[in-house]
Structure 1
Amino acid sequence: MVLETDQERTEHFNRMSLKFSEFYKGKTMVIPKVPINNLGSFSYWYTPGIAAVSTHISKDIESSFELTGRWNSVAILTDGTRVLGLGNVGPEAAMAVMEGKALIFNYLGGVNAVPIPIRTKTKEEFITVARALEPSFGGYNLEDIESPKCFFILEQLQKDLSIPAWHDDQLGTASIILAGLINALRVVGKKIEDSRIVLFGSGAANIAAAHLLMAAGFKASNLIIADSKGILHPEREDMDTLMLNNPWKYKLAMLTNGERREGPSEESFQGADVIISAARPGPDTIKPEWIKNMNSDPIIFALANPVPEIWPNVAKEAGARVIATGRGDFPNQINNSLIFPGVFRGVLDARSRGVNFKIMVKASYEIANFVKDPSEDRIVPTMENWELYPQVASAVARATVDEGLARRNNSTEGFYKIAREIIEENRKAYRKLVDGDIIKKLPEMD
């Protein structure tokens, strides 16, 4: 089958996803990881022997990370209010995406991730559920929660919990944006401290990206945020509302846009070096003529899913030098899958209590530096570069030690050995399931 247009290819992937999902009825499963030889095995895996494990943990809560699977378990929590580019589709519909996330966690990071869509209406209800589930997990991956609710939830959970809370739409997207941007600037020969960056769209991803870019050395005065109401600046008419309802965005209005530029969002392109777009999906969201107003060798990250804000070939014709999207069927996929499996492998191996921007900057540089000779069509690795994940994990694990967040101490090399072994063993087990036809082959497409 020859798929001639970007839209035809997108529709083909949609049909495949529906057919395969109906065939497999879920992407992950839970199976025992211990030997069960006979009835006597249950005497120590369950009753009566297991009472000794419970008694031990009741006297030393931290030992739950050593005596149970908590050390390698992550909950993927969502309320389904902001799923991909689809919006509020509800927790049941969100399950399909969360299962995909769990699949990637396990395959690339060796992490046991459990998808848990929850039916909550308020941020307070969500936080209550998350607090209640904490004893079961070594970390939380928050996913697909509408803005600004997601900011409140993440901030509160990071204060309340003794395990890492990570919102992938904020922190994961920001980290891989930074990794890609580091190499894109290397390709065009521009410096971090001199580059003018436009964050086109002001949802969870770009607000987090703005904070991470500043933590990485980008000047706040060189950042401009633009949304459906235009360029963000301190005198914009909605500042009082933002101060009450979205203090994170309000803070950025005060910190960024050193020139105090005003006007509609398209005017932010004038004189920009980089556009990082996390805006409305659709190939006409960014106009080619806007790109022509940018500085020489412009960089365009069009990250909306499932359809980018401008098709890459159109951006290239308009003069863009480096173009990235969120899709794997184009070069330069800026996708969270390159960051979260390694990050969680690292925080779990270190038994970390949290994660912060310093750790994320280190993870981003680890990803960027993995690409030895970045080019216009290769600024980030791909998910096939599985060696990336233990490297990110070891850098993250060591960074949690340096930040005083780790329960376990080790060198970068020691953490690398741990991560590599876990990921390799997990991949071997999966391969045996496939080779033994225990995992069924893909069905034929009609």
Structure 2
Amino acid sequence: MSDDSRPDADADLNAAALAYHETPRPGKTGVEITKPAATQRDLSLAYTPGVAEPVRRIHADAQAAYRYTNRGNLVAVITDGTAVLGLGNVGALAGKPVMEGKAVLFKRFADIDVFDIEVDAETPEAFIETVVRIAPTFGGINLEDLAAPHCFDVEQALIERLDIPVFHDDQHGTAIIIAAGLLNALELQGKALADARIVVLGAGAAGIASIKLLIELGADPQRILTVDRRGVIHSGRDDLNRHKAEIAVETDRRSLEDAFQDADVFIGLSGPDLVTRAMLAAMAPRPIVFALSNPVPEIRPEVAFEVRDDLIMATGRSDYPNQVNNVLGFPFIFRGALDVRASRINNAMCIAAVHALKDLTREPVPASVLEAYGLDALTRGPDYIIPKPLDPRLRDTVSAAVAKAAIASGVARA
């Protein structure tokens, strides 16, 4: 266990986090003026009477909003507060610090402006209607911390009703980073995605989206066993919602222990310490374990490597190698989509992001990255299957790949 998982370290971190959010000015974001406002003429251009002319242009052609307003670089990060981090349904207002944090990441990594919006909505339909009504303000919508299963229906409804990108990062962002790291890990272990036996623990937003993306990339759906609180999701169960029913398979395996037998890959999106030494020992030779529960993984790396020395492992933590971190994806995916005024983020764009991330680990790592992480060297291998979040190449590499895929798939408008 690392030092930051001790109670005293947690207390110190909590106190520091509160001070960070409160002082010297509450919150983490603000609004800045991007044009001169020092003279009377400046003000007459910024507001009346000068502002009337761009109004007329936009009224005549809605696409002119991208030329005369900030719409083309403005994303809404929106939640209903029903699944905030690991804290659950804490409500819209309590989710605001997380939404502000997401805004910080958008700006820091991709220079995208964000309004964070917290919606008190009694039903998914009310939430959808709210987002639709405010959508003209934005060039893209990032859905955040929506509980499953309604998150799937909310996203799909908004995609169908809006002509700007709608992206639920807890689903697709997580899936993209997992897929990129997994493809590299499979190559290093001498295995093929199509042949891999995969166990996914957790059938929420991230789990189901990851399964669907891996199938798009070539995984065999019959070789993927998904496990929820009641065991393996199999076709004989009568308690499945339609989203779980889509990933159910015919199998006689019922428990998590059963699922682990001869598995090549484990992807954990569930809770702490749920994987035992015996489960890990039962996996196939050269296994891959993505234990992504945060802050405490499903099995800790120090425990896992005591059981298996032929293992490649990733977690969601920054203090272990191979951190699966959504910041590797969403800022640059939106950057690419906004740059070409995409009407949506489609599967082709997600797959392009996967391959861009996967391939970046094959390139020489810049000195600035080594310095930031206190490393002498870093090359593709068991401890480097996914780029580091502070790699400056991510913006150009991933954004360009996403933009090209948007153009090729016919959803770009610029």
Cα distance in 2 between the residues matched to 1:367 and 1:331: 16
Q: CA RMSD in A?
A: 1.5
SS at match of 1:252: coil
Give the deviation of 1:277 after TM superposition. Answer: 0.7
State the match for 1:414 in structure 2: none
State the match for 2:375 in structure 1: none
State the match for 1:292 in structure 2: 281
Give the deviation of 1:67 after TM superposition. Answer: 1.1
**Residues 228, 265 of structure 1: 8 Å contact kept:** no
State the match for 1:417 in structure 2: none
State the match for 2:146 in structure 1: 145
**Residues 84, 305 of structure 1: 8 Å contact kept:** no
SS at match of 1:381: coil
SS at match of 2:246: helix
* Equivalent position amino acid for 1:296 in 2: P
State the match for 1:400 in structure 2: 406
* Equivalent position amino acid for 1:326 in 2: G
Give the deviation of 1:4 after TM superposition. Answer: 4.0
State the match for 2:88 in structure 1: 87
SS at match of 1:28: coil
Aligned-residue identity in percent: 40
State the match for 1:7 in structure 2: 6
Give CA-to-partner distance per residue, 1:401-435, whole Å, 9 cap, x none.
11111101xxxxxxxxxxxxxxxxxxxxxxxxxxx
Give yes or no for the alignment of 1:115 onto 2:105: no
Cα distance in 1 between the residues matched to 2:358 and 2:231: 32
Q: How does 1:142-291 map to 2 (within 5 A)?
A: 142-238=143-239, 242=240, 246-253=241-248, 257=249, 260-280=251-271, 282=272, 284-291=273-280
**Residues 80, 91 of structure 1: 8 Å contact kept:** yes
SS at match of 2:185: helix
State the match for 2:353 in structure 1: 363
SS at match of 2:199: strand
Give the deviation of 1:150 after TM superposition. Answer: 0.2
Give yes or no for the alignment of 1:21 onto 2:21: yes
What is the aligned residue count? 394
Cα distance in 2 between the residues matched to 1:4 and 1:148: 36
* Equivalent position amino acid for 2:243 in 1: W
**Residues 175, 339 of structure 1: 8 Å contact kept:** yes
Give the deviation of 1:7 after TM superposition. Answer: 3.2
Give the deviation of 1:10 after TM superposition. Answer: 4.8
Give the deviation of 1:87 after TM superposition. Answer: 0.6
Q: 1:51 to 1:333 in 2, by over 3 A?
A: same
SS at match of 2:34: coil
Give yes or no for the alignment of 1:129 onto 2:135: no
SS at match of 1:75: strand
State the match for 2:98 in structure 1: 97
Give the deviation of 1:265 after TM superposition. Answer: 2.1
Q: Which runs of 4+ in 1 moved over 3 A?
A: 3-15
SS at match of 1:84: coil
Q: Which stretch shifts more, 139-148 or 305-314? A: 305-314
SS at match of 2:142: strand
* Equivalent position amino acid for 1:33 in 2: T
Cα distance in 2 between the residues matched to 1:105 and 1:18: 22
Give CA-to-partner distance per residue, 1:296-339, whole Å, 9 cap, x none.
12111111223222222112212161111112122111011000
Give the unaligned 5+ runs of structure 2. 363-378
Normalising by structure 1, we get a TM-score of 0.86
* Equivalent position amino acid for 2:326 in 1: N
Cα distance in 2 between the residues matched to 1:114 and 1:285: 37
Cα distance in 2 between the residues matched to 1:38 and 1:297: 68
Cα distance in 2 between the residues matched to 1:401 and 1:162: 15
**Residues 177, 328 of structure 2: 8 Å contact kept:** yes
Give the deviation of 1:6 after TM superposition. Answer: 3.6
Cα distance in 2 between the residues matched to 1:13 and 1:380: 27
**Residues 348, 406 of structure 2: 8 Å contact kept:** no
Match of 1:338 among 323, 328, 334: 328
Normalising by structure 2, we get a TM-score of 0.92
**Residues 325, 389 of structure 2: 8 Å contact kept:** no
Give CA-to-partner distance per residue, 1:175-213, whole Å, 9 cap, x none.
111011011112212111111111111000010001100
Q: Which stretch shifts more, 133-142 or 182-191? A: 182-191
* Equivalent position amino acid for 2:156 in 1: E
